[in-house]
Structure 1
Amino acid sequence: MRRSAVDDGARCGEWGSVPGLVRWAAERYADVEAVVEGRTRITYGELGARVERSAAACLASGVEPGDRVAIWAPNSLDWMVAALGAVSAGAVLVPLNTRFKGAEAADVLGRSGARLLFVTGTFLGTSYVASLRRAAGRGPGEGPLGGLPALETAVVLSEDAPVGFRTWKDFLAGGDAVGAARVRARADAVDGGRPSDIVFTSGTTGRPKGAVITHAQTLRAYEIWSELAGLRRGDRYLIVNPFFHTFGYKAGVIACLMRGATMIPQPVFNVTTVLANVASERVSVLPGPPTLHQSLLDHPARDTYDLSALRLVVTGAAVVPLRLVERLRDELGVSTVLTAYGLSEASGIVTMCRRGDEPSVIASTSGRAIPGTEVRVVSGAGAVLGPGVPGEVLVRGFNVMRGYYQDEAATAEVLGADGWLRTGDVGVLDEAGNLRITDRVKDMFIVGGFNAYPAEIEQLLGLHPDVADVAVIGVPDARLGEVGKAYVVRRAGSVVTADDLIAWSRREMANYKVPRAVEFVRELPRNASGKVVKGELRGGPARGAVSR
């Protein structure tokens, strides 16, 4: 009889590590369709072989256990093969946000000390290689990017690569001389307690911090996720959530490996493409932010697509309108709609609804703590609060990160000696233990499913020569849920306009961080200690507003 990690973690012990899971899936589901990408269709057996070849190439390039290997590319079969190959070679994966600009990516590459980088070619009209070269092309290092001395090898996931970079084909060919026994020995040596990945996320200071998660944590968390969601063999899973995010990589790729579900990666969210994929591939599983599902329901041509195979939808912590849950069930016949809440520092999952929960619970909460974890709500003084009282959400359990990579001070700020992790989110628990997120201590807002951090955006805007002071808040947006609005104090004599700043921002930061509105003010409202009082900004026109 099959035992699940929800009961006793038996499967985690059987897999041991992510490379152990990859090999297990390749053997168990050898003839099951694993990935569909355009005209390319491969089985789990074929996927396993590709991952082993990727791992061999990593060994040939000098990757040692514990080395950081970064990947900066959109969802694709090559992303899976490159990432899983690196992890199978004992490396620690560092996924980079595809919305990053060159300087943002170079910062994370430098701080992680990545030795090997997989990077896409041109994506959404942007050459990622060119943007990296502008940001880190000069410096004392001898590798492809001198400004990143630790980076020895950069592989472009395409058929062409500039001087100093390697093509994906050439990189893979480099591993052909590495014997299978050596590759498997390296994979077998990966211990479940070792880091599997470092997910960089920004905090209130705007300084990227890398949450370190182990193989064992990943396996246990996403066996639980798969069990609670009801993911099963034969499911066809459209993965629109980006692989650089835990929701895409772990609730997507890792979960599918566990259950033998077919993965259909989609590199960019486009509602028409989603509808076409769901219909043509008989997609049964479609996780994503509420905006994705709302766009699908409201598409004028929706009725021309056959969406009858859809049976499972899982969405994030953002408030989900009850009407959305009802429409997914009534109009599309989706039998299971669930909500969940997580953060990178807790392996991406903290609470989750259960199948059978009432629609009102699913719409108004993010469910209950997953097995093996505890959730509490506390006051500013640290006192535990009862049901119905808002406070900061804390979590403790197997899923909590080992710490921020090489940042003990930042780790100590959020992770206590007693194991409780401060999430920085404000929430309320009900009598049944269901969690409702009500606000964000960190002032974070969510733009179309992407977490945007005001302090980071403020730091970037502060680099503009005409900006003397700035504060950013999230404001409602009909399409994206929330977007940024910047309150800016111009430098003396400046005539910079809102359009100027927005255009500059589009060149300097990821699109979801770009403020959609700018309001110029004479001064920002501050309290006695000098901190900006953002409540006044949210309450209406800012004090001293001069123009838009």
Structure 2
Amino acid sequence: MLRDQAARHPDAIVVAGEATRLSMADLLGEATRVARGLMALGVGPGDRVALWGVNDPSWVVHAFGVWCAGAVVVPLSSRAKGLEAAAMIRKTGARVLITGEGAGRTVLADLLPPGTGLLHAVVPAPSLSGPGRLTAAELRERGEEVAPDAAWERALAVRPDDLCEIMSTSGTTGTPKGVMLDHAQVLRGYWDWAEIVTLREDDRYPVIAPFSHGFGLNAGLLACVLRRATMLPIPVFTPDGLMELVSSGRISVLAGPPTLFHRLLDELDRGAWDVSSLRVAICGAAAVPPPLITRLVEQVGVERVINAYGLMEGTVVSMTRAGDPVEVVAATTGRTVPGIEVRIVDDAGKDVAAGERGEILQRGYGVMRGYWDEPERTAEVVDGDGWLHTGDVGVLDEAGNLAIVDRKKELYIVNGFNVSPAEVESLLLREGSLAQAAVVGVPDPVSGEAGRAYVVPRPGADVDAAALLAWARENMSNYKVPKRIVVVDALPANANGKIDKLALRARATREDSEPEKRLS
């Protein structure tokens, strides 16, 4: 796809960073140099290469370099700390780690001892060099050892059903899972997504979601190259810079939660900003207040407000369409995209009537190939007939519009990121002073939801909640860090002896309703 775009539209600008602009021809040339460098390091077809850094042009170049080498991209969150990144590297058997700018590089040393399996780490600057490391420039120099024709043949040998990416997703057992997606899945899924969004060559699209996230990588980086739109990778997004970004950047496509668009409208009311370039607003599987849609259309001049639903294991599932009334966009995620089926079933697996709640099951080309090296866990969510059991609770109306109303799993969402309580609990227990930890998601006015941890000290240990919270900030991605930690003598248990999360959620509700407890 990239070679075809570069041949037909070599001068189309596809990446616009703070100090870097890349045309299709530039991107192909730089990616090929990276591919030759990786081949010189011994990376072969199907090998995994981890990418760790914030959104920037370098991330885009290295991702396509990995794909041109026939390898598989393993994105690591720039928010991840050493413990988290090392776990995903070990799980996928990544041979090379490519780092960029971002917090993760400060703990690079954690990832190169024996046991991680890494052979090489590529670092952005000579100051970070050391044993087993080479700079991005040195990687390209190594590529001179590989003939251009060899790199060309390697890239053309990649087949549609070869693995493209292994995405980390929150698990319910305490460890993240690696979702396997192939090239055909992501190309088809995000071509259709971009078609419905009406993403086009003259669009300027800031990619706010991290490239390590499925939306940022596929509905951002990949979709822009597919449709020759100009992506603006956003390394660190701040709401305060939103209006400057939209106004001076002449942004035409903007994706984010409803709070992002509320902020835009509030700022528009207070200042003389020019947002006339904005024509498409994309929200993801969220309830969107109808007045927000009306104001975006009437006050900003947005042509389309789109709601959509997807998940890492199932790529794109449903989207609203042109001409949908406000109430459909506000309350649902629209109809399934071509090639995808959806059912709503009860606890016995039987289809429910239109308008009734049940678990969302999905089938079609978008369903993942499975979890990396975990066939048993794959079989738990993808049944013998190919239906993916999403764990989300939804309702289908008579017209086939899908509304997401709840989650069966314990996952909660912080600023758009899925958080697994089991994973946070597992990380907290590694601190050493705890006998037990239980985490629940609670409503939060800023982030949507936030984690609250209830912890039981080990015998003889004196646990200070503030100190434990500081440890969590040092060792976890920021969105996984509980907003509050409560030290307790014991955790409630149900009749089966398991921790009673319902009782903990009820306790959290009481705490939030009683000011004196909120301050304790």
Would the TM-score normalized by the shorter structure come out above 0.5? yes
- Could you tell me which amino acid in structure 2 is paired with residue 442 of structure 1? K
Distance 1:413 1:254 in 2: 30
SS in 2 for 1:83: helix
| Deviation of 1:322 (Å) | 2.6
Structure 2 residue 350 is matched with structure 1 residue 383: yes
Answering whether residue 218 of structure 2 is matched by residue 250 of structure 1, we say: yes
Distance 2:207 2:422 in 1: 30
Conservation of the 8 A alpha-carbon contact between 1:198 and 1:212: yes
Determine which of 147, 151, 155 is the counterpart of 1:183: 151
In structure 2, what residue type is equivalent to 1:451?
N
CA distance in 2, matches of 1:519, 1:323: 39
Partner of 1:10: none
Identify if the C-alpha distance between structure 1 residues 409 and 44 changes in structure 2 by more than 3 Å, giving closer, same or farther: same
Matched, 1:25 2:18: no
CA–CA separation in structure 1 for the residues paired with 2:266 and 2:457: 41
Secondary structure in 1 matching 2:371 = coil
State the Cα distance separating 1:495 from its structure 2 match. Answer: 4.2
* The one of 129, 140, 160 aligned to 1:192: 160
Alpha-carbon deviation of 1:392? 1.3
Q: Is the 8 A contact 2:243 2:267 kept in 1?
A: no
One-letter amino acid matched to 1:420: W
1:47 corresponds to: 27
Which amino acid counterpart does residue 384 of structure 2 have in structure 1?
A
**1:337, distance to aligned residue in structure 2 (A):** 0.9
In the alignment, does 2:119 pair up with 1:138? Answer: no
Match of 2:338 among 353, 371, 374: 371
What amino acid maps onto 2:108 in structure 1?
A: L
Q: Deviations over 1:439-472 (max 9, x none)?
A: 2111111111111111111222233333332221
Match in the other structure for 1:73: 53
Q: 5+ unaligned residues in a row in structure 1: which ranges?
A: 1-20, 140-146
The one of 109, 112, 120 aligned to 2:89? 109
Output the CA distance in 2 between the equivalents of 1:447 and 1:542: 18
The aligned residue for residue 70 of structure 2 is: 90
SS of match in other structure, 2:271: helix
- 1:329-359, Cα deviation, whole Å (9 max, x unpaired): 2332221111111111112x11111122112
Aligned to 1:318: 286
C-alpha distance 300-370 of structure 1, shift in aligned 2 (>3 A): closer
Residue of 429, 439, 442 corresponding to 2:406: 439
Q: CA deviation at 1:227?
A: 0.9
Which letter maps to 1:240? Answer: I
Contact 1:291/1:448 (<8 A) preserved: no
> Residues 537 and 328 of structure 1: is their aligned pair in 2 closer, same or farther, counting only changes over 3 Å?
farther
Between stretches 440-449 and 34-43, larger displacement belongs to 34-43
Deviation per CA, 1:171-196: give whole Å up to 9, x if none. Answer: 11221343322211111110001111
Q: Deviations over 1:118-172 (max 9, x none)?
A: 0124x2xx4x3441323x4432xxxxxxx323x2111013454321211111111
Which amino acid in 2 is paired with 1:312? V
* Equivalences, count: 514
- Is the 8 Å Cα contact of residues 411 and 419 (structure 2) preserved in structure 1? yes
In 2: Cα distance, 1:332 partner to 1:303 partner: 13
Alpha-carbon offset, residue 503 of structure 1: 1.4
Runs of at least 5 residues in structure 2 that lack an aligned partner in the other structure: none
- Quickly say closer, same or farther: Cα 1:487–1:298, change in 2 above 3 A: farther
How far apart, in 2, do the equivalents of 1:411 and 1:40 lie? 41
251, 262, 266: which one aligns with 1:298: 266
More moved, 213-222 vs 56-65: 56-65
CA RMSD in angstroms, aligned pairs only? 2.1
Q: Which moved more, 1:104-113 or 1:473-482?
A: 473-482
Change (3 A) 1:334 1:107: same
Structure 1 residues 503, 404: CA separation in 2 closer, same or farther (over 3 Å shift)? same
One-letter amino acid of the counterpart of residue 8, structure 2: R
Provide TM-score, normalisation by structure 1. Answer: 0.89
Matched, 1:277 2:245: yes
- Residue 223 of structure 1: how far off its partner (Å): 0.8
**Which whole-Å CA distance do the structure 2 matches of 1:304 and 1:57 have between them?**
49
In 2, Cα distance between equivalents of 1:463 and 1:322 = 45
Query: Any idea what SS the aligned residue of 1:211 has?
Result: strand
Aligned twin of 2:447? 480
Displacement of 1:362 after TM fit?
A: 1.2
Query: Structure 1 residues 323, 460: closer, same or farther in 2, change over 3 A?
Result: farther
- How far does residue 534 in structure 1 lie from its aligned partner after superposition? 2.2
**2:53 touches 2:105 (CA, 8 Å); kept in 1?**
no
Q: Distance in 1 between matches of 2:28 and 2:224?
A: 13
Q: Which residue of 1 aligns with 2:379?
A: 412
Residues 340 and 366, structure 2, Cα contact 8 Å, conserved in 1? yes
Distance in 2 (CA, whole Å) between partners of 1:111 and 1:399 is: 23
Whole-angstrom distance in 2 between the partners of 1:300 and 1:482: 27
Q: Deviations over 1:104-123 (max 9, x none)?
A: 100100110111110124x2
Which residue in 2 is equivalent to 1:345? 313
Structure 1 match to 2:200: 232
- Aligned residue number for residue 64 of structure 1: 44
Identity of aligned residues (%): 46
1:53–1:301 Cα change, 3 Å: farther
* 1:119 counterpart = 2:104: no
Q: 1:438 to 1:351 in 2, by over 3 A?
A: same
Cα deviation for residue 55 of structure 1 reads 1.6
Partner AA of 1:110 in structure 2: R
- TM superposition shift of 1:40: 2.0
Q: Note closer, same or farther for the CA distance 1:157–1:324 as it changes in structure 2 (3 Å cut).
A: farther
Determine if the alignment matches structure 1 residue 467 to structure 2 residue 434.
Answer: yes
SS in 2 for 1:345: coil
The one-letter code sitting in structure 2 at the alignment partner of 1:74 is V
**Distance change (3 Å), C-alpha of 1:525 and 1:304:** same
Give the partner amino acid of 1:184.
W
Quick one: distance in 1 between partners of 2:490 and 2:303? 52
- Contact map agreement 1:69 1:94 (CA 8 A) in 2: yes
**Is this contact kept in 2: 1:103–1:132, CA < 8 A?**
no
Paired residue for 1:396? 363
CA contact (8 A) 1:118 1:155 kept: yes
Give 3-state SS (helix, strand or coil) of 1:197's partner: strand
The residue identity in structure 2 corresponding to 1:106 is A
Deviations 1:486-542 (A, max 9, x none): 222334454423322221211121110111122333433322112233223323458
How far apart, in 1, do the equivalents of 2:229 and 2:262 lie? 25
| Secondary structure of 2:438 counterpart | strand
Partners of 1:467 and 1:202 lie apart in 2 by 22
1:429 alignment counterpart: 396
Q: Is the Cα contact below 8 Å between 2:20 and 2:57 reproduced in 1?
A: no
1:153 partnered with 2:123: no
Code of the residue aligned with 1:206 in structure 2: it is G
Whole-Å separation in 2 of the counterparts to 1:228 and 1:220: 13
Kept in 2, the 8 Å contact 1:203–1:442? The answer is: no
1:528 corresponds to 2:495: yes
